[in-house]
Structure 1
């Protein structure tokens, strides 16, 4: 009777959620990803580029191969990939390390965000965009991609270099700035002015989140894990770590931030415990699996027809991102007393736009202020 009940529930669930299609799509992109990454390894090219090519081959835009049945399926796996990637980054970036790099990171991130906002706004007007479109464009161009940088540094064995730690700190501060930027852009789009009350509320939420981060990371979690040390084998440690990661991600969303920021925060909290190396080791296969799906999902968004149609603005904006990020990133590091070598390495590492560009674009579209 119990077995019949389980089977009946499973059948009902399969009607509302296509499990077979989800698994089929995942199998298809992983097989494509395996083939392309082997090829790119043989060609001595970055693996992340192979994942992006695999995503393009699996997308409906490439008509010579079957495409995934439902792109929402891949988006589901990709969101998990972002969470796990940011969690693994946090494991190498403890709260103390973030505080040590904090001053330099805040100044550099502020310099980059303000500089790229201004550059994007100016180029938008040159390209004939409206005032509000140019403003949102500046916001889209001002954030670097945390996930792309993590993968590139990992493939090139650069994660333990001094400039890499500074770059990671800048990226986290940029994510915090992004929250304030979205409040400002939303207010301007709706009211044509900045609402002081909303700004104060957003800053208060940010302060609350950082206080919770500090208290849990320094006082609560290390003591709790040490008290249960004898029970934490590899299997249990993996379950505990991923549960804490997802739990903090949900708490982050409840506070008005992103899943990725919450995952990073929990990773950085666990990095301050004596279990950091073991957690990093047991979660590595999970990160590799879902991280690859995220980069494949990025490749699926590549549309050759759009590239051909808008090739001139794309080239202009690409040049603005590359030159602007190098200039503002390098200058920001120099202003905080970093050496010329570290400043240049940091500036060149930041030459791409990040996931927040898509979030800001979606915000503008939902508010009805952006042209398609």
Structure 2
């Protein structure tokens, strides 16, 4: 028998638990994303179909992508693409393409195969960035490559979600449907660019005139939710719309004003997304597709290491540094959760198990990357400086 708490009580208790789990994650040095998903799995019977939790999770993920879009104006996107695209395309082919082929070989239908391929594709930006900072590796030579690859994945992942949303709307997706879907994505993107260059051109001046912070919050979150909602209305993903909404405002001079206003609301709401995702995973029928799970765990880790080894070389890194970079990009997290949220039934359960396992293993590989690299290539030798003695 399922026990359901009142909606308001359930939401309040979840926020308190999120607070305690946040403190716990700092003490045990484990990304809070994993703890939030596990919390959702544990309290599924209490909060299944909680309306406030669901709405809060939608707002949280929309604001995450909105803030992400603020970092990417058109010029920056072009600069990143010129340097990282060979490694980025290699990543798409190995992490998404091969995983998709493996799923098809195991007898899954095209939609489920593409969805699982998307889940195995994107490295967790939040986990990787946190580990880079915690281990004092931000200044390492591979860090620029890792961050550029994460940005590339951040651009591809919303498109993957949008395609999955289109595919999930009907049983049979014809060629014209795919063309129409791509057309909608292009139209939404072009619309964001035009609005950014016209309507929002003097947006900074408007923000300076608004002294009340509450009004700013209403305006900025309203823009993010509206463009995300427009994407949903067109049969696309709200995360793509939110990302493009951020791009619309990325040209303004003092972006930190927008970020400072929206960030507290995002930080409050985003954990709800991971908790809610956990409540949608049910393990009543055990671990589905266990054989496929083992194969994909092995391959997806190997694929990221290969992307680091070969993609890093394309980027201009040494063999040693490229290998260390590959070991550092194996964690899966928020983007995989976003993509898995489109799934239903056993595929969602499978995806949830994969994400938790891949996140844990990826974090271990990140922590051990320097040691493993030294075992394979030997310890780096410090260059000795010759001192000139006066009179020599």
**TM-score (structure 1 length as normaliser):** 0.73
1:30-68 Cα deviation digits (max 9, x unpaired): 2222222222322232222332232233223xxxxxx22
Q: Which residue number in structure 1 is paired with residue 387 of structure 2?
A: none
Structure 1's 69 and 185: CA in aligned 2 closer, same or farther, altered over 3 A? closer
Q: Which residue number in structure 2 is paired with residue 43 of structure 1?
A: 28
The structure 2 residue matched to 1:27, chosen from 3, 12, 16, is: 12
Counterparts of residues 4-19 of structure 1 (less than 5 Å): none
Structure 1's 245 and 37: CA in aligned 2 closer, same or farther, altered over 3 A? same
- The CA deviation at 1:291 is 0.9
Structure 1's 310 and 159: CA in aligned 2 closer, same or farther, altered over 3 A? same
Deviates more, 1:25-34 or 1:312-321: 312-321
Deviates more, 1:302-311 or 1:317-326: 302-311
Q: Is the 8 A contact 2:165 2:236 kept in 1?
A: no
Unmatched tracts of structure 2, length 5 or more: 348-392
Counterparts of residues 1-372 of structure 1 (less than 5 Å): 21-60=6-45, 67-68=46-47, 70-104=49-83, 107-124=86-103, 127=106, 129=107, 132=109, 136-143=112-119, 148-150=124-126, 153=129, 157=133, 162=144, 163-180=146-163, 190=172, 194-195=174-175, 197-227=176-206, 229-308=208-287, 310-328=289-307, 331-332=310-311, 334-335=313-314, 337-339=315-317, 341=321, 345=325, 348-349=328-329, 351-352=331-332, 353-359=336-342, 361-362=343-344
- The CA deviation at 1:143 is 4.7
Structure 1's 320 and 54: CA in aligned 2 closer, same or farther, altered over 3 A? same
Structure 1's 89 and 24: CA in aligned 2 closer, same or farther, altered over 3 A? same
Matched residues in 2 for 1:104 and 1:178: separation? Answer: 25
Q: Is the 8 A contact 2:308 2:322 kept in 1?
A: no
Matched residues in 2 for 1:234 and 1:246: separation? Answer: 18
- When you count helix as a share of all residues, which structure comes out higher? 1
Matched residues in 2 for 1:144 and 1:122: separation? Answer: 12
Matched residues in 2 for 1:363 and 1:310: separation? Answer: 13
Unmatched tracts of structure 1, length 5 or more: 1-19, 61-66, 366-372
- The CA deviation at 1:167 is 1.1
Q: Is the 8 A contact 1:217 1:270 kept in 2?
A: yes
Structure 1's 186 and 268: CA in aligned 2 closer, same or farther, altered over 3 A? closer
Q: Is the 8 A contact 2:96 2:117 kept in 1?
A: yes
Structure 1's 159 and 30: CA in aligned 2 closer, same or farther, altered over 3 A? farther
Q: Is the 8 A contact 2:304 2:330 kept in 1?
A: yes
1:237-296 Cα deviation digits (max 9, x unpaired): 222211111121122223432111111122233232124102211222111111111122
Structure 1's 309 and 111: CA in aligned 2 closer, same or farther, altered over 3 A? closer
**TM-score (structure 2 length as normaliser):** 0.70
| Equivalenced residues, count | 331
Q: Is the 8 A contact 1:86 1:263 kept in 2?
A: yes
Matched residues in 2 for 1:328 and 1:37: separation? Answer: 32
Matched residues in 2 for 1:201 and 1:270: separation? Answer: 27
Matched residues in 1 for 2:323 and 2:51: separation? Answer: 40
Matched residues in 2 for 1:124 and 1:310: separation? Answer: 10
1:170-199 Cα deviation digits (max 9, x unpaired): 222232255456667989x637xx52x333
Q: Is the 8 A contact 1:48 1:152 kept in 2?
A: no
Structure 1's 310 and 203: CA in aligned 2 closer, same or farther, altered over 3 A? closer
Q: Runs of 4 or more off by more than 6 Å in structure 1?
A: 184-187
